[in-house]
Structure 1
Amino acid sequence: MIQLAKRVIRQTVNDKRSVMLILVAPLLILTLVYFLLGDSDYVATVAIDPDAVPAPVIDALEQQELELVDITADEADQALDYLQQHEDIDAVLRFPENSGMDITLYEPSTKGATAISEIQEAMATINPTAEAEVSYVYGTQDQSLFDSLGYVFLALFSFFFVFIISAMALVRERSRGTLERLMMTPIRRGEVIAGYTLGYSVFAVIQAIIIVLYAVFVLQLSNEGNIGWVLLTMVLLAVTAVSFGATISIFAGSELQVVQLIPFTIIPQVFFSGLIPLDLIPYHLGHLSYIMPIYYGAAAIKGIMVYGDGFSDIWSYLAGLTIYALVLYVINTQALKKFRKL
């Protein structure tokens, strides 16, 4: 028994990936969570019509951690349109005649919740029983968490499962010698990568159709846009996942090593997929999302399903996924020669 335990310890110590997974990965992820979920110094921006808001209320608001922006009476009356044109404004505060206090926000979010909290604290110093009517440009106050974040999970599932299958399959092809025998034929490296990508993309298309239709028609996930654009985004994201899996397989010698690389390649992307507002992340870490494919897929799906965006609004995200897939294709083609020495 002791000898077996010693052998296991030696094997683990000699496997650098296992050591990294056990010792470094938890610290890396925990540090990332600390930065992402720690106290935010975000200051909400609230728009008010100074001529229509009582002076004591303005004084109380100025005592809170809020940035006040003056708007005209017409802009305040058209709060929904104003917020659509000024996404940097978190809330519009109004006091309509005989209607109490009205707070209009762009959508249910952490930033909106911060604005509401600060406004309520300010009002509590004047009238502790004051109540506010809250409305949103997109979404409702009582919508479920699934409706708010369902688009994120569509992107995550589409990417993660295809990535796992493609990466492990490519490692298996290499370990069994199938890839080496294939490269001995006149087939080109680019054709090998394109063939694998096309093959797994067929399953990616089927997966995308099933996931989207199930989420929308069975789970009743709200959708404001064209479901066809959602399917196209899911397919592009899955194709990118195939290429990403092929790239990761370069650094893995077995299926186990593919799993060991997940904490360094997939889990960080989850935090930048839209679960946390990027502009709330301190130290400008939100900009890291631009190098992560899941961000582009999740942002496009959110635009379609939450805002009802069309192609003219999401084309940049689709272009980002396409460029990402093409870059990975080039890397994988070169890697067949450089890393695998075929």
Structure 2
Amino acid sequence: MLSIIKRILGQMKNDKRSLGLLLFAPLLILTLLFFILGDSNYIPQIAVYDMNEKFVAELENHATVILETEKPEAADYLEANDVDALIWADSAGTHIELLEKNSKSVAALEAIQDTTQALQPTQNELIVDYVYETAGDNQLDSLSYVFLGVISFFFVFILSGMSFVRERFGQTLERMLMTPIRRVDVIGGYTLGYGLLAAVQSVVIILYAVYVLQLQVEGSVALCTFVMILMAFSAVSVGALVSIFANNELQLVQFIPVIIIPQIFFSGLIPIDTIPFGLGNLCYLTPIYYGCTALEMIMIQGKGVVEIWPWLAGSVVFIGVLFLANVTALKKYRRL
């Protein structure tokens, strides 16, 4: 087993293209997502009705202000005029109407909060309402666990699967199976070899996301890294299993719509309980569900090991089941 691990690490050291795919391609995609969905210098447009002139003057330092002489209906007005917020005051407090929770509404709220802080007003409650109630303040922060889990899983699956296919085409696997080596040792060597490389990728992705892109993590970064490593080993095992049934690299790629894309729907991108016909229960058959759910609980909710242990256990069980499935699938090449 150790010789297999050493050989794989040596091969990958000389395979610059595969190392680039493993380490730098995920960073490029995360960077693009950061610029597309992250914070920006966007100046919000805020409609004001029946607010004092001092407030309006200060608000103009933080946003584009639209003065309204009559109070409009927020739902129709905000959507039709591409306005980010509507603000007015009455005896109950200061009312802020927003279309939905996104980066534009966050910018509008920050402008209003900066204005109220600058004026140092008397106690006046801010009443915030959304026309379309959604979750998340910053789109990248609120869905970071999805992007981290899916991107890591996808690239590890591609790398490990194609590497296994190349091993068969080079007849390395066949020659190895002609020796007395056990199938368990073969799968264990490949899984640990590629798994160690995938673990390095997981550490790089987490550190880059947290300390370079500064994605918000409410819980432990180390625990996030551990979850990512478990997902990486799951991806290696899935790639190995699929590659056994693929006759060439093109066939492996053709498995992506069947193996990878459906799992994305169970990553937290869509609430499981909103998926119709009970299809949400299929999430328990996908390794991405366990990893991304654990990442969400750590990164968004700040949970620890005590709260996420069922999902950690699910990932470990999945790795074990896939390992046994791979060992069994090797009977296709040798019955020992």
TM range, smaller chain: 0.5 to 0.7
Following superposition, the deviation at residue 140 of structure 1 comes to 8.5
Query: Residue 86 of structure 1 corresponds to which residue in structure 2?
Result: none
Deviations 1:291-332 (A, max 9, x none): 111011100001000000000011111111110110011011
Task: Give the one of 325, 328, 331 matched to 2:322.
Answer: 328
1:169 alignment partner, SS class: helix
CA distance in 2, matches of 1:196, 1:247: 12
CA distance in 1, matches of 2:245, 2:334: 14
**Are positions 1:341 and 2:321 aligned together?**
no
Query: Residue 206 of structure 2 corresponds to which residue in structure 1?
Result: 212
Q: Which stretch of structure 1 is more off in the superposition, 298-307 or 182-191?
A: 182-191
AA at the equivalent of 2:323: Y
**Are positions 1:272 and 2:269 aligned together?**
no
CA distance in 2, matches of 1:191, 1:150: 36
Following superposition, the deviation at residue 170 of structure 1 comes to 0.7
CA distance in 1, matches of 2:184, 2:135: 49
**Are positions 1:311 and 2:305 aligned together?**
yes
CA distance in 1, matches of 2:334, 2:188: 19
Which consecutive unaligned segments of at least 5 residues does structure 1 have? 1-96, 110-130
Query: Residue 246 of structure 2 corresponds to which residue in structure 1?
Result: 252
2:128 alignment partner, SS class: strand
CA distance in 2, matches of 1:164, 1:232: 21
AA at the equivalent of 1:321: S
- TM-score of the aligned structures, taking structure 2 as reference length: 0.61
AA at the equivalent of 2:225: L
Following superposition, the deviation at residue 283 of structure 1 comes to 1.3
Following superposition, the deviation at residue 99 of structure 1 comes to 3.5
CA RMSD of aligned residues (A): 2.5
Which consecutive unaligned segments of at least 5 residues does structure 2 have? 1-90, 103-125
- TM-score of the aligned structures, taking structure 1 as reference length: 0.60
Query: Residue 195 of structure 1 corresponds to which residue in structure 2?
Result: 189
AA at the equivalent of 1:304: I
Q: Which runs of 4+ in 1 moved over 4 A?
A: 100-103
Deviations 1:122-175 (A, max 9, x none): xxxxxxxxx94259xxx986x321011111010011111111111111111112
Query: Residue 92 of structure 2 corresponds to which residue in structure 1?
Result: 98
Following superposition, the deviation at residue 186 of structure 1 comes to 2.2
Following superposition, the deviation at residue 243 of structure 1 comes to 0.5
**Are positions 1:299 and 2:293 aligned together?**
yes
**Are positions 1:133 and 2:128 aligned together?**
yes
Query: Residue 281 of structure 1 corresponds to which residue in structure 2?
Result: 275
CA distance in 2, matches of 1:192, 1:270: 30
Query: Residue 257 of structure 2 corresponds to which residue in structure 1?
Result: 263
CA distance in 2, matches of 1:282, 1:219: 35
Residues 149 and 231 in structure 2, CA contact (< 8 A), matched pair in contact too: yes
AA at the equivalent of 1:144: N
Query: Residue 18 of structure 1 corresponds to which residue in structure 2?
Result: none
Following superposition, the deviation at residue 254 of structure 1 comes to 0.6
Residues 219 and 299 in structure 2, CA contact (< 8 A), matched pair in contact too: yes
**Percent identity at matched positions?**
50
Deviations 1:9-55 (A, max 9, x none): xxxxxxxxxxxxxxxxxxxxxxxxxxxxxxxxxxxxxxxxxxxxxxx
**Are positions 1:180 and 2:181 aligned together?**
no
Following superposition, the deviation at residue 98 of structure 1 comes to 3.4
1:133 alignment partner, SS class: strand
- Relative to structure 1, the CA distance from residue 186 to residue 302 in structure 2 (aligned partners, 3 Å threshold; closer, same or farther) is same
CA distance in 1, matches of 2:135, 2:190: 44
